[in-house]
Amino acid sequence: MLKTPPPTATAASGHAEGVSDDEFRAAMSRLAAGVVLVTAQEPPLDPDDPTAPAVEDVGMTATAFMSVSLDPPLVLVSLREGSRMDDLLAEQPRWGVSVLSESQRHIAGRFVMKGRISDRLLFQDLPYIRGEATGAPLLGGALATLECRTEQRVPAGDHTLVVGRVLTARVPSAEGGPLLYFRGRYRHLG
């Protein structure tokens, strides 16, 4: 005789299946993740202002980034729905990724701060080059850099999964180890 599964429980947080935000966050914090800086160029906010910059550089630290396919070369980044980068990549299909080294922890923290200063000032003292295919800033000292074109956007809960075709891939620096995020803190191997 088959047993009927019990009705789905709803936790105090409102999630089905009984998992709370805190439980989920604690479990996922045990998954070590690489840290990247996702960058893109935003068109001028006021195109009629001759003193405004032609484009504005935008950057965001991400830990939910992964390789998806070798043929064709695809990557995926998860963006909080409605975030500045999510809104920008909905309009701007070309973007860059810099895989951060353990010595670039300060950069990761800089681009994740709430209430941060303008992105223009955040990039001001950082060594970077402009990507040939995207124009996006690609950090000097990064372990690897990629330039991507959005192929697909997939709504996923409170995030958007952005799948990008890799247009260029470089390994400018082989020095140092990767910057990791584990148990709520930036870490390095060793």
Q: What is the pLDDT of residues 68-95, one digit of tens each?
A: 999 999 999 999 999 989 999 999 999 9
Per-residue pLDDT of the chain (190 residues; tens, 9 = 90+): 555 545 444 444 455 678 888 888 888 888 788 999 999 998 877 777 777 777 889 999 999 999 999 999 999 999 999 998 999 999 999 999 999 999 999 999 999 866 666 787 889 899 999 999 999 999 999 999 999 999 999 999 999 999 999 999 999 876 789 999 988 888 887 7
Give the pair of three-digit tokens for residue 26.
């604690």
Model confidence, pTM? 0.85
d(CA 152, CA 162): 6
User: Which residue's structure tokens are 């980034």?
Assistant: 65
The angle subtended at Cα 98 by Cα 55 and Cα 159, nearest 5°, is: 80
Q: Cβ neighbours of residue 68 under 8 Å, at least 6 residues apart?
A: 74, 75, 76, 163
